[in-house]
Amino acid sequence: MIEVKELSKTYSIDGQVFRAVDNVSFTVRRGEMVSIIGHSGSGKTTLLSLIGGLTKPASGSVLIEDRAIWSMSDDELSAFRNRKMNFIYQFSSLVPTLTSLENIMLPTAFGDYGEDVAGYARELLALVGLKEKENSYPSHLSGGQQRRIAIARAFINRPDIVLADEPTGDLDEETEAEIISLFTRMNKDAGTTFVVVTHNKDIAALAARRLKMANGAVTEISGG
Ligand SMILES: Nc1ncnc2c1ncn2[C@@H]1O[C@H](COP(=O)(O)OP(=O)(O)OP(=O)(O)O)[C@@H](O)[C@H]1O
Ligand SMILES: [Mg+2]
């Protein structure tokens, strides 16, 4: 369902061309959970944002359900992103002027979601253990709590694909275990496809397929 073909992203630094993502190809099947590990600066965040349609590649293509996302118009791409996939960013990404519940519901603001969005948002809030923080603003939440709101938000539009960048980076072990079980449930019950950048061994172990990034290149460690 996700096909990454000869994908590269370059940055020019002081006239030198630097390849943050270097000729990467791999396929992720529907319902698969794939983890990506690799040292800091190896290109993991850059790769996720290329797949998610947030950063334009220098060359190569990303196909999602056989559609080349980088040949879509901006409008098509954002509509596609709204329906198909969602992100859990490496760093805080909540809107400071919105409450927890409003932040979780935000991805549904731009589409037609006939169902009870607020009800599902409350369900997700409970699943990440923050029922009592429904009306709190991000500035009144801890870093880990903000992270959990961002995780809940990623599921609100019932995406086929979740791209997660170090989702449990700032969580304690117990909370981490809850998030892992949430991911497992979404993967098993809803068939959500996951691409997860992680240093967490438990998440990496959950994934049937593990990829490793080094200097912008990807190698398969297991699965495939
Ligand atoms: N906008 C940019 N301009 C120039 N170089 C960049 C830019 N964004 C990223 N890079 C460089 O690209 C490389 C890959 O960065 P990336 O954020 O993808 O790494 P990462 O694997 O996610 O690292 P970490 O584990 O620390 O999050 C790094 O060397 C970084 O300095
Ligand atoms: Mg990163």
pLDDT along the chain (224 residues), means of 10: 96 92 96 94 96 94 92 87 87 92 90 82 95 97 93 93 92 88 92 92 81 95 72
Q: Where are the domains of the chain?
A: 2-222
User: Are the C-beta atoms of 223 and 208 separated by less than 8 Å?
Assistant: yes
Residue in this structure with the two tokens 């996700």, named with its chain if needed: 2
In this prediction, residue 199 carries a pLDDT of: 84
Q: How far apart are the first and last CA of the chain?
A: 14
pTM recorded for the entire structure: 0.93
44 pocket-lining for ligand 1 (C-beta < 6 Å): yes
Under CATH, to which class is 2-222 assigned? Answer: alpha beta
Q: Whose CA is nearest to atom 28 of ligand 1?
A: 41
The crossing angle, in degrees rounded to 10, of helices 143-155 and 117-127 is 140
| 132 Cα: distance to centroid of ligand 2 (angstroms) | 31
Q: How many CA atoms lie within 13 A of 22 on its CB side?
A: 14
198 pocket-lining for ligand 1 (C-beta < 6 Å): no
| 31 Cα: distance to centroid of ligand 2 (angstroms) | 24
Alpha helix stretches (DSSP H) within the chain: 44-51, 74-84, 100-105, 117-127, 143-155, 173-189, 201-206
Q: Whose CA is nearest to atom 14 of ligand 1?
A: 43
In this prediction, residue 118 carries a pLDDT of: 93
User: Are the C-beta atoms of 144 and 68 separated by less than 8 Å?
Assistant: no
In this prediction, residue 79 carries a pLDDT of: 83
Query: How many CB atoms lie under 10 A from the CB of residue 214?
Result: 13
In this prediction, residue 80 carries a pLDDT of: 82
C-alpha angle 206-174-151 in degrees, rounded to nearest 5: 65
Please state, in angstroms and rounded to a whole number, the distance separating the CA atoms of residues 201 and 107: 30
What are the two backbone dihedrals, phi and then psi, of residue 142, each rounded to the nearest 5 degrees?
A: -70, 165
Site to substitute for ligand 1 among 42, 87, 89, 200, most atoms within 8 A of C-beta? 42
User: Are the C-beta atoms of 34 and 3 separated by less than 8 Å?
Assistant: no
| 93 Cα: distance to centroid of ligand 1 (angstroms) | 18
Site to substitute for ligand 1 among 22, 45, 196, most atoms within 8 A of C-beta? 45
Identify which ligand lies nearest to the alpha carbon of 199: 1
In this prediction, residue 208 carries a pLDDT of: 81
Longest dimension (CA), the chain: 52
In this prediction, residue 224 carries a pLDDT of: 57
The number of the ligand 1 atom at minimal distance from the alpha carbon of 13 is 4
20 pocket-lining for ligand 1 (C-beta < 6 Å): yes
Residue in this structure with the two tokens 């990440």, named with its chain if needed: 128
Q: How many CA atoms lie within 13 A of 95 on its CB side?
A: 11
In this prediction, residue 223 carries a pLDDT of: 65
User: Are the C-beta atoms of 162 and 192 separated by less than 8 Å?
Assistant: yes
| Residues counted in the chain | 224
159 pocket-lining for ligand 1 (C-beta < 6 Å): no
111 pocket-lining for ligand 1 (C-beta < 6 Å): no
